[in-house]
A and B are shown apart, each in its own frame.
Chain A
Amino acid sequence: MNNGLDMLGMGLLTQNLVLLQGLGMYALTRHTKTVDGAAKAGGAMLGAMATGGLAAWLLGTLAIPESLVFLTYLAAACLSAFFWQRLLGMPSSLSGGLLDSALVGLLLLLAREQVTGFAAVAYAVSAGLGYWLALIIVASLRQRLELAPIPKAFRGVPLILITAGLLGMALLGFRL
């Protein structure tokens, strides 16, 4: 991760959390019915990821024992998720909220790769933008496919997964 543009490219394209790392599948299958819904869900997660990146910046300045890294980063993810859930008036239940694999996975990736300082915030924001973009693209494609004569067995989650998979394969080209 050399500069801001590299990081943006990684978050949006070459390391897209949803399409290339398989994180955030719950939101991909539940919040992409409409472009508006996808934009709202993606925006809320972008906020939570930015806050999580800030928390990772702070945690990076502390000498945390290796055995406690998971718990501290998980706690940071929880605080970010519940802060944004409360701010946006979302229910405080565990399932269906912002505390999903994308947010926790992002913070665990930051911890594993030892990304600290401002780079942690920049990477978190670019990953959030990548998440937001993936949801919007899949939602737009779903809306376009609404009137298409698709067999019943493929409607819903199978079609979302195949669409996201093909998009992800296209993004794999940017890794070369």
Chain B
Amino acid sequence: MKTIVDGLFRQNPVFKLALGLVPAVAVTTTAYNGLVLGVTTTIVLVIAVAVSAMLAERVPQTARPAINLAVLALLTMCAYQALLRLDPQVVANLGIFLPLIVVNGIALQTLDKKVELRQAVTDAFGSGLGFAAALVVVGIIRELLAFGTIFGATVVESRLPIFALAATVPGGMVILGLLLALYNAVTGQGGELSE
């Protein structure tokens, strides 16, 4: 339980570890996009980590990166096809960023670690939830600023958007940068990342 709570806030992959920033700036123009991508990534990540941990003993160390990537790619493809049947519009909105789950920094770093099955799945679930929560938060703010709505419901009645650039990638970068600074100020963290 502690790992899951850590993943949501103290060790949030987006806000604390600066992982998964590509979807956070590119697809969170609406909260719904963020929610769908976050939940899909969490499901793919948990299953991939479970399969990888189960195969770890049977696969030689040198072949592990290739096997992990193949598992991730197959699961991403399955998730893509499932979403295409459930909601084709959101698949169109997410564009190339849905298949890019396969190179999500959170997934690649989690799969590079060698831990036992239960721990790996708990860590992945916590990271995935934290990632989804971060995407939804960024999505809510960007959607409100760009369109005056939250999850499609009108909140601000205005003919002109509050900050139209929030719907663009550069606007997303600035908003995410400000959110990260706020997170750092609240948690007393901040500073340079190691390479």
Write the residues of chain A forming the contact surface with B, with a CB cutoff of 8 angstroms.
Answer: 19-26, 29-31, 33, 37, 70-71, 74, 78, 92-95, 99-101, 104-105, 108-109, 112, 151-162, 164-169, 171-172
Counted as pairs of residues, one from A and one from B, with CB atoms less than 8 Å apart, the total is: 148
Partner of B73, one of A24, A71, A156, A157: A71
Set of chain B residues within 8 Å of A151, measured between Cβ atoms: 181, 185
Complex formed: what's the CA distance from A165 to B154 in Å?
27
A91 to chain B, nearest CB (A): 10
Whether B177 contacts A161 by the Cβ 8 Å rule is yes
Whether B108 contacts A101 by the Cβ 8 Å rule is no
Whether B177 contacts A157 by the Cβ 8 Å rule is yes
Complex formed: what's the CA distance from A33 to B192 in Å?
9
A104 to chain B, nearest CB (A): 5
A141 to chain B, nearest CB (A): 13
Closest 8 CB pairs between A and B?
A168-B170, A165-B173, A161-B177, A22-B26, A165-B174, A25-B21, A162-B177, A153-B184
Query: Which of B5-13, B37-45, B94-102, B120-128 has 4 or more CB atoms under 8 Å from chain A?
Result: B94-102
Interface mask (B162-193 → A, CB under 8 Å = 1, otherwise 0): 00010011111110111011101100001111
A92 to chain B, nearest CB (A): 6
Given contacts A23-B26, A104-B103, 8 further A-B contacts (CB under 8 A): A30-B193, A94-B108, A100-B105, A109-B96, A152-B190, A156-B190, A165-B170, A168-B173
B99 to chain A, nearest CB (A): 5
Set of chain A residues within 8 Å of B95, measured between Cβ atoms: 112
* CB of B111 within 8 Å of the partner chain: yes
Complex formed: what's the CA distance from A19 to B68 in Å?
30
Partner of A169, one of B26, B171, B193: B171
Complex formed: what's the CA distance from A105 to B182 in Å?
30
Write the residues of chain B forming the contact surface with A, with a CB cutoff of 8 angstroms.
Answer: 18-19, 21-22, 25-26, 65, 68-69, 73, 76-77, 80, 95-96, 99-100, 102-105, 108-109, 111-112, 165, 168-174, 176-178, 180-182, 184-185, 190-193, 195
A124 to chain B, nearest CB (A): 15
Complex formed: what's the CA distance from A157 to B99 in Å?
25
Complex formed: what's the CA distance from A156 to B96 in Å?
28
Whether B195 contacts A94 by the Cβ 8 Å rule is no
Given A92-B65, A154-B181, are A100 and B103 also a contact pair (CB < 8 Å)?
A: yes
Whether A161 contacts B165 by the Cβ 8 Å rule is no
Q: Which of B169, B173, B195 has the most chain A CB atoms closer than 10 A to its own CB?
A: B173
Complex formed: what's the CA distance from A20 to B22 in Å?
11
Whether A20 contacts B169 by the Cβ 8 Å rule is yes
Whether A101 contacts B103 by the Cβ 8 Å rule is yes
Partner of B174, one of A26, A108, A161: A161
Whether B177 contacts A94 by the Cβ 8 Å rule is no
Set of chain B residues within 8 Å of A20, measured between Cβ atoms: 169-170
Whether A158 contacts B184 by the Cβ 8 Å rule is yes
Q: Which of B26, B77, B170, B176 has the most chain A CB atoms closer than 10 A to its own CB?
A: B170
Partner of A155, one of B21, B65, B191, B195: B191
Partner of A95, one of B21, B108, B165: B108
Complex formed: what's the CA distance from A94 to B105 in Å?
9
Whether B100 contacts A101 by the Cβ 8 Å rule is yes
